[in-house]
Amino acid sequence: MSSSRPHAVTTPGTRRAARPALATLLAALLTATALAPAAPALAATEPALPAPGRTFEHYPPMKDVYQDYFSFGIFGAGEPEGLVHNYASYTPGNEMKPESTQRDKGVFTFEPAEAAIARYTSRNPDLALYGHTLAWHSQTPTWMWDAPPARFDQPGTFDRAVAQENLDTHIETVLEYFGPRLVAIDVVNEAVGVADPDDWRASLAKGEGWYQALGAEWVELAFLKAAEVVDAHGWDVKLVYNDFSLDNPAKARVVYEMVKDINERYADARPGGTPLIEVIGMQGHYNLATDVEAVRANVALFASLGNVEVNVTEMDIALPPGELTPENENNQGMKYAELFSIYRDFAAGPANTSGNPRVITAVKLAGVRDVLTGWKGGEFAMPYDYDGNAKLALLGILYPTQFLATYEYIDTSGGGERPPVPGVHVFDTSAGDAWSGANIVLGDDPSVWPWSTTDDGQVAFRPEAGTTYRVTVNYTAKGTTAIRVRWVRDNTNGGYTSGDQGVINDHQYSAGQVATHIPAYFNSGMVNMGSYDLVTEIRLDGSQPAEGLIGNIAVRGGGGGNAFSINTITVEELTDAGDEVLVTWPSQVVVPPATAPAAPTEVLATAASGSATVSWTPPADDGGSPVTGTTVTASPGGATCVSETSSCVVTGLTNGRAYTFTVVASNAAGDSEASAPSAPVTPSALPGGPSTVALSVSAQAQCVAGRPQLTVQVRNTERVPVLVAATTPWRSATARVLLPGASFRHTWTAPSADLPAGHVTVTGVKVASWQVAGTTYEAGHTGAACS
């Protein structure tokens, strides 16, 4: 991150009038005064903003700053220490979704969610928990609403009775398991399709999901079942409807009308007049083009319901991908500050003195740091950068009033746009569009085949029935490593055909394959910052229905993300006489020579008997050539495994011995540097062996009050009691008798200020069938330099 931070400037088109020079001088004077020992009254009146660029512990926790306004939480995963410091609540991102908890009918798996929860509650037992989500059209096995084909003894014909039984069973089982621990849960997620403010029921129509089997009433059916479970136990678990784009007035009105109607019809369904839908979750996936006044108006609209709370969920503010510029960082801080000013004005807590309705009870950000890959990868959406240093966004969140008084928007319009090509519309996030991508317009007459529309009369080409066309899109991944080639109705940034939505994931390809279908989903073989040619060859025979698959060709981010850039687009007509180029956008592209990839990161090892499963995050930069293989090496011993994915199993390891693992990625240009080693793990013998003792062992070293502390944790995985003794490298020891399944944890303070990497020796002895067996383990640990 640049050390030069943008402050208020005067540029054409800024939102706010330029401050007079006197105001600028006053702000500087306040900063200087705050640093001096004198003049405390002036500093207290308007404290100066702290500098950005430092790690989380140098700033007040966001949860403390907002504790008298609303609960401040996180949605999804994040760097643990910064998460525990800043957030008072945690909502799992994927681990509680239907496909994670019940992929196969009747087989419920809660272990991933438990592991996700334990990762953070082990550091903060007081972390409040929220649930996400019980019912959704996405990340849900299609058998749940009894979609074809027939499975699990179901007819596979959208049978209403079967679908409702599946819905009720899933909600009841998941709520019974998690319910007592939750503050609230998203009962229904993203039910609204195309928003029609005059007909909320019709707005719930989608090309997939519960609506197909249960109709518009599926939302209230889900809430009725959730309320039945919660009320039967007397739990205080809020029931939430959660949706995105609720800054859009039309969609917000649909949700308002739906919640109002359902709550009025079921006003007496719950004890004490509790509404059936208690909370509206406003997903906050925003960007620099977000209209904050629309957000304010829609929060006020929901507040007018009177007995319904508002949670801001999944909040982030995405920036154009590629490079974090000082201008964009400044404007992101402004947007965060404006939004948090609104949230404070509608907060439910006592600190809200605005006179507005007290309606917002929780705000949840969608992460801790910026991330390179995954959801919002490469979009610089969070308050801390990749290295965990505070951006201006953090100051906008912590100090919105002071921030808005100190900074102004910087105009970023202008620049060298590439000349347009007739009929090719490229939507670039750097221009402020909500979604990047491109549309290739095929026609301007919706009454003929292939039908499509254009508002400017320009088309890229008009296809002929029975002809094959090749569409080649060169793109660079800047976080989003998946792309979809789709059918859309017009040349705008949306409007997918119903047939497109129904089959969007059916035809999946890697970057090196030629797709023969549209929609085509290129979702493998790509890494962040790599550039790829994605090729689709499609033959149009004239039989496809207008409402089904035919329209304009669109290119969009595969996971809903927008962190990528389109470099070139080429369309060719393939004939026996030769290939004819119909579209090129723009005129040329320069591809730099490939280099070896960057090193893999985040190497994680899990031990088993005689082996370890190793996983890692692929290189952030593939050097311009796709990664073709990855090699994992164990230390000591040098055992290896080779993988084309992001995990593999290293075998031939010795039980009881501590190992670390490094990972090297390879492409056509060569091998990367080795990754940083994983934390040490120790393979364990299998339980029940006549001459071995199966233990699970681990050790950790850390600095506490300037001295290294070494902690060992041991679990007895045998079916009989085991005597366990643990000895440090400096010969301090402890011993316990562990019953089957029991664990113990012991901490020593090292004799010197620095503790090198090493291991705790752990020996287990058991007596089974009158025979004595013993096994010694090395619980490896990293070093701790505390001097």
pLDDT at 615 over 50: yes
State residue 577's pLDDT score: 85
Average model confidence (pLDDT) for the chain?
87
Backbone angles phi, psi at 336, to 5 degrees: -60, -45
pLDDT at 428 over 90: no
Burial class of residue 126 (count of CB atoms within 10 Å of its CB; 0-12, 13-18, 19+): exposed
pLDDT at 473 over 80: yes
State residue 528's pLDDT score: 77
Question: Using one digit for the tens of pLDDT, what is the confidence trace for 304-313?
Answer: 999 999 999 9
Per-range mean pLDDT, top range of 426-440, 443-457, 461-475, 539-553 = 461-475
CATH topology of domain 601-671: Immunoglobulin-like (2.60.40)
695-785 and 601-671 share a CATH fold? yes
**CA nearest 678: which of 697, 657, 663, 699?**
663
State residue 384's pLDDT score: 97
State residue 181's pLDDT score: 97
What is the average per-residue pLDDT within 562-582?
A: 88
State residue 742's pLDDT score: 93
Question: Using one digit for the tens of pLDDT, what is the confidence trace for 73-98?
Answer: 999 999 999 999 999 999 999 999 99
3-state helix, strand, coil in the chain (%, to 5): 20, 30, 45
Rounded Cα–Cα distance for residues 241 and 219 (Å) = 9
pLDDT at 151 over 80: yes
pLDDT at 485 over 80: yes
State residue 29's pLDDT score: 31
DSSP string for 476-528: EESS---EEEEEESSSSS--B-HHHHHTTTTSEEETTSEE-SSSEEEEES--T
- The answer to whether the predicted template modeling score (pTM) of the entire model surpasses 0.75 is no
Q: How confident is the model at residue 425 (pLDDT cuts 50, 70, 90)?
A: confident
Rounded Cα–Cα distance for residues 342 and 298 (Å) = 11
State residue 224's pLDDT score: 98
The architecture in CATH of the region 695-785 reads Sandwich (2.60)
Q: How confident is the model at residue 42 (pLDDT cuts 50, 70, 90)?
A: very low
What proportion of the chain, given as a percentage, has pLDDT over 90? 67
Least confident interval from 404-408, 488-492, 627-631 = 488-492
Domain segments of the chain as ranges: 60-324+342-389, 424-585, 601-671, 695-785
Which of the two residues, 291 and 374, has the higher pLDDT score? Answer: 291
The architecture in CATH of the region 60-324+342-389 reads Alpha-Beta Barrel (3.20)
Q: How far from the centroid of its chain's Cα atoms is residue 642's Cα? A: 28
Q: How confident is the model at residue 13 (pLDDT cuts 50, 70, 90)?
A: very low
State residue 41's pLDDT score: 37
pLDDT at 723 over 80: yes
